[in-house]
Amino acid sequence: MPVIRTSEAVTHEIHGARFVSYASPLTGSKELCAWRGEIPPNTKAPVHTVSREEILHLLVGELLITLDDRTDRITAGDTLIVNPGATLGVENPTDQTAITWVTTSIGLEAQLEDGTRITPPWAN
């Protein structure tokens, strides 16, 4: 049974946020990836379209989530289901770091509004 210790997790930073990767092919996962996301206060991530389903569970804080054309405020304990092909915007308008737990299948890609494609290393 693979156990990934916090000290073994790999940290990535992009667009002002931190992604701490626990489950991925590099750690022995065959189908899923999982990471902790840390979104600092007053941070707005670029809007992007995802290629795979993502499940985002908010552990700490509040976020403004725009999913396609609908914006909702989510708070600690809420879970967001992002279907493949959905356009997602994430904003932390508060003065507290928001912490998420995200799971997706291996191979996730994101396309930014300008057409740039990102293959996040924490999801591959």
Contact criterion met (CB below 8 Å) for 110 and 86: no
Domain count, the chain: 1
112 within domain boundaries: yes
For 59-63, 97-101, 117-121, which range has the lowest pLDDT when averaged over its residues?
117-121
Q: Residue 66: is it exposed, middle or buried by C-beta count within 10 angstroms (0-12/13-18/19+)?
A: middle
pTM of the shown model: 0.93
119 within domain boundaries: yes
Average pLDDT over residues 31-53: 97
Range of the domain at 113: 17-123
Average pLDDT over residues 28-54: 96
Average pLDDT over residues 89-114: 97
Q: Mention every residue, 6+ apart, whose C-beta is less than 8 A from residue 114.
A: none
Task: Kindly report the average pLDDT of the chain as a whole number.
Answer: 96
11 within domain boundaries: no
